[in-house]
Amino acid sequence: DAGVIQSPRHEVTEMGQEVTLRCKPISGHNSLFWYRQTMMRGLELLIYFNNNVPIDDSGMPEDRFSAKMPNASFSTLKIQPSEPRDSAVYFCASSRDGPYEQYFGPGTRLTVT
């Protein structure tokens, strides 16, 4: 299996620009998670989907952030407009339904200048 795939691996953008991060979960996994990791705040759960439906988005920092999962094999996390404080590593993870281990992608390192 290819594992969780994220793109791009690195993104540098200017403040105010729209940023879209992409994730392809492991085939057969029906739960998908978006995390943000920074030195200051550690690992934070932003949102998670089950069977393509957002279940808990309480971690989404503000309306500038949105996430979609149009089908079982693709999800996006969008930031519009981006701000320097959004600079972080964003991870996508997937798991089977239930209390099973999550498999993480390699992350997208976002830098907003």
Partner 1 sequence: AQSVTQLGSHVSVSEGALVLLRCNYSSSVPPYLFWYVQYPNQGLQLLLKYTTGATLVKGINGFEAEFKKSETSFHLTKPSAHMSDAAEYFCAVSAGNQFYFGTGTSLTVIP
Helix, strand counts (H, E) of the chain: 0, 11
Distance CA 78, CA 27 (A): 23
Q: Which is nearer to partner 1, 14 or 97 (CB)?
A: 97
**In the bound complex, what is the minimum distance in angstroms from residue 81's beta carbon to partner 1?**
27
**In the bound complex, what is the minimum distance in angstroms from residue 95's beta carbon to partner 1?**
8
Distance CA 30, CA 53 (A): 10
Side-chain-side CA neighbours of 25 within 13 Å: the count stands at: 29
**In the bound complex, what is the minimum distance in angstroms from residue 107's beta carbon to partner 1?**
5
Q: Which is nearer to partner 1, 15 or 55 (CB)?
A: 55
Contacts with partner 1, residue ranges (CB under 8 A): 4, 31, 33, 42-43, 45, 48, 50, 55-56, 91, 93, 95, 97-107
Q: What is the 3-state secondary structure (H, E, C) of 37-65?
A: EECCCEEEEEEEEECCEEEECCCCCCCCE
Distance CA 35, CA 104 (A): 10
Q: Which is nearer to partner 1, 20 or 102 (CB)?
A: 102
Q: Which is nearer to partner 1, 53 or 63 (CB)?
A: 53
**In the bound complex, what is the minimum distance in angstroms from residue 16's beta carbon to partner 1?**
27
